[in-house]
A = this chain, B = another copy of it.
Amino acid sequence: MNRSGNSAHRKRLGGAVRKRRLALKLSQEALAERIDCHRNYVGSVERGEQNVTFDTLIRFAKALGCTLADLTREGRC
């Protein structure tokens, strides 16, 4: 099975998260508080370093006031 390419997908999704966060004028720390995780985790997700689970993706979307469908569309996933 070809698992290549997911890194690019992760980075694009992370970019979409970052773009939404900045549009809301939220710091990584403020977003982390909404999601109940550490600020470093938010940074790591935004850089595409994390293989985030579906439930956590839903939490990110909710905290950003959008849907996961929005984030994946904006991240061209």
Q: Which residues of B contact A36 (CB under 8 A)?
A: 1
Does A6 contact B55, Cβ atoms closer than 8 Å?
yes
Most chain B beta-carbon neighbours within 10 Å: one of A36, A52, A57, A59? A57
| A side interface size, CB within 8 A | 26
Does B59 contact A55, Cβ atoms closer than 8 Å?
no
Q: 24 A-B contacts, Cβ less than 8 Å apart?
A: A1-B36, A1-B59, A5-B58, A6-B55, A6-B58, A6-B59, A9-B68, A10-B54, A10-B55, A13-B54, A51-B54, A51-B55, A52-B53, A53-B53, A54-B54, A54-B57, A67-B72, A67-B77, A68-B72, A68-B77, A69-B72, A69-B73, A69-B75, A69-B76
